[in-house]
Amino acid sequence: MQKTILHLDLDTFFVSVERLLHSELRNKPLLVGGTSDRGVVAACSYETRGFGVHSGMPMKMARELCPEAVVIRGNAGTYTKHSELVTEIIREKVPLFEKSSIDEFYADLSGMDRFFGCYQYASELRKTITRETGLPISFGLSVNKVVSKVATNEAKPNNQLKIDLGYEKPFLAPLSIKKIPMVGDKTYQTLRNLGIRQVKTIQEMPMDIMQRVLGANGELIWKRANGVDHSPVIPFHERKSISTERTFDKDTIDVVRLKGILVAMTENLAFQLRRGEKLTACISVKIRYSDFNTYSKQLRIPYTSADHILIPRILELFNTLYNRRLLVRLVGIRFSNLVPGNYQINLFEDTEEALNLYAAMDKIRERFGDKSVLRAAGMGAKTIGRMQNPFNGQPPVVLAHRKQ
């Protein structure tokens, strides 16, 4: 059966939220990110782009390029709330949707044509989102995720685009190869060095040449350039959580030790999040006492994957939860409400150095194992266990129930 896939993407999301809350910022060049000298640009308005500003660049450089820009420090909590408002509207209107980042969604509208035109339905949905949240959003509609995503980017800002069945290749042909999802800077340079600039050129090449130049990615990029993509929309409610817990051989009342274990667990799960390019918006702590009564408490938080944000919240939860003067048999933590997303959401809270520190620590962990770098507070915890990447498409993860 032919599919109909909708891709929705909020326009310059952080910037739009700031303008919604502070109307004086409308139509002004705006930079959102870390405001210190070592901060990084998390989002920038369209007005700044002509000056060569882009997200991810050092704030200092962005300020030099566009001195008239207003610079504001972002707020992850505010953006998470607005992202959830939009998610709720989509959840009400569309049976099958995927939240692919804090500001991006895919919806499978296949079969809806019988009742109501898909394009009309998507247009109504877009209007509803903007009316109810005040945020501009764009969409692309086509037979698959890749073509719809490219269509959204072509439609932006605040617009929509439908690619009719059979027109995927001609739509993509004149575009720059940079517009193909997954063509990053490195791949772009490799292809440019071969004299390839337009998608059309890839379409005219045999697939095996792309394979020879770019390996396994070459095949995927060739397929995408030709508008071929069979990846499914992954229902949002099936998004996995990750968790870990520890049962003690001997029940314990040693709070310092318990906290040390929670710190080590949090570090470990946060590393798994970053490794899978995921963010969590809901954390919970579980305690089982020696009488086998189990209590847990959860907390909604702004999307994050950063240890230094997660650890204090986990310990706070533990402090409110641990109120019986009984021996503890088990402790556990869980991160849920996961969405794909990289560390960028925290850019305005951290300096480039903090980001580099995480990147360096994670690299060491990839190479030498999860326990190779630890916070001093978590060092007392023995085997936390070595995990495989929990986001590689394997069945839901419940981490090893380890004894110590």
Shortest Cβ 155–Mg ion spacing (Å):
12
- In this structure, which amino acid lies at residue 302? P
Question: Among 255, 396, 240, which residue's Cα sits nearest to residue 331?
Answer: 255
Shortest Cβ 174–Mg ion spacing (Å):
23
Shortest Cβ 48–Mg ion spacing (Å):
16
Q: Where are the beta strands (DSSP E) in 86-146?
A: 97-101, 104-108, 137-142
DSSP 350: S
Of 9 and 245, nearer to Mg ion (C-beta) is 9
What's the full length of the chain, in residues?
A: 404
Q: How far apart are CA 37 and CA 352, in angstroms?
A: 10
Q: Catalytic pick from 64, 68, 84, 104?
A: 104
Q: How far apart are CA 258 and CA 57, in angstroms?
A: 40
Binding mask 78-107 for Mg ion (x = CB under 5 A): -------------------------x----
Torsion angle of C-alpha atoms 66, 71, 76, 82, degrees rounded to 10: -80
DSSP H helices, 136-254, are 145-155, 168-172, 185-193, 199-204, 207-214, 216-225
Binders of Mg ion among 1-20, rule CB under 5 A? 9-10, 13
Of 340 and 380, nearer to Mg ion (C-beta) is 340
**Coil vs helix vs strand at 141:** strand
What contacts 216, CB < 8 A, 6 or more positions away?
Answer: none
> Does residue 104 carry a catalytic annotation?
yes
Of 7 and 288, nearer to Mg ion (C-beta) is 7
Shortest Cβ 9–Mg ion spacing (Å):
4
CA 267, distance to chain mean position in Å, is: 19
Of 86 and 143, nearer to Mg ion (C-beta) is 86
- Closest residue to Mg ion, judged by C-beta, is 103
Tell me: is residue 9 an annotated ligand-binding position.
yes
Annotated binding site: 9, 103
Residues with a known catalytic role = 104
Contact positions toward Mg ion, by CB under 5 A? 9-10, 13, 103
Annotated binding site for Mg(2+): 9, 103
